[in-house]
């Protein structure tokens, strides 16, 4: 990749990250500051939706890989059903005083959680970069 192509790639990925920050701000405005457990469940739900959209276009070299993706999708949609019944009213709006998870880890646990979160964020950026490359082909 030459310098110009690298610049375009970086700019498109940066734009995606900026849009993600805006979406996060919008989510907080709608749902408030949510607890970690709820956000982890919501993340699994969103991951299932990504898998659902990408699945027809993935050609894994081994059957087990495809089965693993289908399991992510199944679990995420089960979580969505529970999430919608607990956290949303009939119109999809947040309910008042939803249940939450207690989150009180030790300091070294926070470090490990942050490390795993950084790994996850890096993978999301790499997926976005793959989408950018696919658009360019």
Q: Give the per-residue SS3 of the chain.
A: CCHHHHHHHHHHHHHHHHHHHHHHHHHHHHHCCCCHHHHHHHHHHHHHHHHHHHHHHCCCCCHHHHHHHHHHHHHHHHHHHHHHHHHECCCCCECCCCCCCCCCCCHHHHHHHHHHHHHHHHHHHHHHHHHHHHHHC
Domain boundaries, the chain: 31-102, 105-137
pLDDT digits (tens, 9 = 90+) for 42-78: 899 999 999 899 888 887 766 677 888 888 899 999 9
Q: Which pLDDT score, from 0 to 100, does residue 66 have? A: 80
Instruction: Report, as an integer, the average pLDDT of 118-127.
Output: 89
Yes or no: say if 28 and 136 are a contact pair by the CB < 8 Å rule: no
Above 90 in pLDDT, residue 15?
no
Q: Which pLDDT score, from 0 to 100, does residue 99 have? A: 81
Above 70 in pLDDT, residue 1?
no
Percent of the chain with pLDDT over 70: 92
Q: Which pLDDT score, from 0 to 100, does residue 133 have? A: 79
Instruction: Report, as an integer, the average pLDDT of 91-96.
Output: 86
Which residue would you say has higher pLDDT here, 101 or 62? 101
Contacts of 84 (CB under 8 A, 6+ apart): 92
Structure tokens at 127: 């997926």
Give me the numbers of helices (H) and strands (E) for the chain, helices first please: 4, 0
- How confident is residue 115, by pLDDT bands cut at 50, 70 and 90? very high
């Amino acid at each position: 990749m030459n310098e110009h192509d690298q610049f375009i790639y970086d700019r498109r990925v940066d734009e995606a990250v900026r849009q993600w920050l805006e979406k996060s701000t919008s989510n907080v405005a709608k749902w408030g500051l949510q607890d970690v457990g709820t956000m982890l469940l919501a993340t699994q739900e969103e991951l299932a939706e990504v898998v659902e959209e990408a699945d027809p276009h993935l050609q894994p070299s081994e059957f087990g890989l495809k089965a693993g993706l289908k399991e992510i999708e199944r679990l995420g949609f089960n979580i969505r059903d529970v999430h919608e019944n607990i956290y949303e009213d009939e119109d999809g709006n947040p309910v008042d005083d939803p249940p939450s998870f207690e989150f009180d880890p030790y300091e070294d646990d926070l470090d490990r959680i942050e490390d795993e979160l950084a790994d996850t964020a890096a993978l999301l950026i790499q997926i976005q970069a793959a989408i950018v490359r696919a658009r360019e082909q």
